[in-house]
Structure 1
């Protein structure tokens, strides 16, 4: 697409839409057009939704300004009450790249992405911002496949007089919920499957009919979460999810930065060798028995052994 081409819709979400104008991406609020002959209630609903979208976009612009020039967070060219202008990244979101290149992405690349993303989120927490909507669709790719995080419409700036570690918003967003959402992003990148969960104490009972998204009244126990034992980085994912696991993004970063792929490969190799040894041991024990059975049933009856010849004449011997 050249600079002379018309605008192109490249993103559409609940709050806003993103249009491409050459090398610039412009995000504006979704403005709902009231249908003809709409009822008064419908008109009010559309108008309220549009106003909420406008306020959310203004809030996102405020978050960008608050974050400043944090490495790994996309830097808008211009922020106003009605739009956010930012660089257009041709590679698009990580979610799309994974869909189209999954077979070509190895664990080294996955680990690098997750290390980058973890540090980006840690930096936003250092600036007292809870991200909330952590997902592969909100990480854009540079030409060198490094990450740039975007979309802060649901993010929360925690006041200076609040303790970040204990803070929980009205929508139940917290440091731990961000860590859990990052665990879900890890799970998607590693396994190719989606699973996310929310903890909302106000609900009467768990809402877990959807296999890809669940809402719990209390923090879920391990038996309510996908099994990650055999996944690459499975233990890190599990510790992001469980209540008594990681409590800061710094801990997550440390675990990812110090993850030893060689040790993980060695453990997998040892497990495979152990499995092979178990089979060899079984065969060693079983082989004498199997040999005896084969001799007795198959081979011996076919042999012309001396005692068979002698026994054939025994009935004719007279005493």
Structure 2
């Protein structure tokens, strides 16, 4: 057996862990695979005899690769904003391995991926490594080039953003969540009667210009009209998940974890009195989104 083959045997048991770390950092199966492959290339260019803990060493390397990719991605977004072009989050990852992408989205959580995507690169690295993989802050600090104290602050700030701050009480939040989950289940099934059960008779659906295709009204009112429209929405609702939107339960639509649409929902007790479809990138950026705990 050659030295390279022996090194590959040592590397392979860590591949799954590295892929899991990279996906949570990057939100793309293709990008995660590229990051794992780069960590392998860097291992082959190193002196394995000097690596005492291969798992920790590889986690550090793949994290640094992900940090570089996140920073490059953030730079591209800034260029788009400067050029007044919307960030459409082109979903190149889904084209390569859609089944794997879907499995990873389900594993991590669609809403969480959306929220993670709003963190700064250092915040995302700190949060993923510490809160999702229990890596101590003093081991994360060298990855970010920060002190352990600063790294801990980055992790705390990211945690606050991920959790958000509810604008309603715990009981009301739970009630709204049950209503929205019933709404989504009925939408996916195209069950108009079940949809009607959670809609106020005078419910209003509003939408910005980006959210609605040409020829569709920006505003419709009445439970039956809205429910019939929602039944058509069923194909898109499979990409939807509950999230904290501006402090209350709303819905994010995020194919492969990439934000496309937000439903800002209004309630009266256990029914929905109205909701707005928001897809304009400028408006999406102003919404406060957080992950609802499972």
TM superposition score normalised by structure 1: 0.26
Q: Which has the larger radius of gyration?
A: 1
More helix by proportion, 1 or 2?
A: 2
